[in-house]
Amino acid sequence: MTDWSTFFAMGGYAAYVWPAYAISVVSLLALAIASWTWMTRAERLASSSKSAEETAPETKP
């Protein structure tokens, strides 16, 4: 592995290795973005329900 072209050729398996890396990175990024989106949505829902509980009149049984 004396030069970069040999490294990037991956011993003839570059056609399999680099797409696998790309799919992995894209999948992890999609998972991170989806998780962040769902977390912010859940936090917004929780804060809105907490606000609704604070402003709702209390009923006594």
Model's pTM, two decimal places? 0.66
Non-local (6+) Cβ contacts of 10 within 8 A are: 17, 18
- Residue 50 is predicted with a pLDDT of 72
The Cα–Cα gap between 16 and 24 comes to: 12
**Which of residues 46 and 36 earns the better pLDDT score?**
36
Query: Does residue 60 form part of some domain?
Result: no
Please count the CA atoms within 13 angstroms of the CA of 58 that sit on its side-chain side.
Answer: 3
Domain hosting residue 4, numbered range: 1-40
State what percent of residues in the chain have pLDDT above 90: 52
Domain-embedded: residue 50: no
Domain assignment present for residue 36? The answer is: yes
What's residue 49's pLDDT? 80
Nearest-5° Cα angle at 25, 24 to 31? 90
Task: Judge whether 8 and 14 are in contact, CB under 8 Å.
Answer: yes
Please tell me the least confidently modeled range out of 1-5, 11-15, 40-44: 1-5
Q: How many domains does the chain have?
A: 1
pLDDT of residue 16: 94
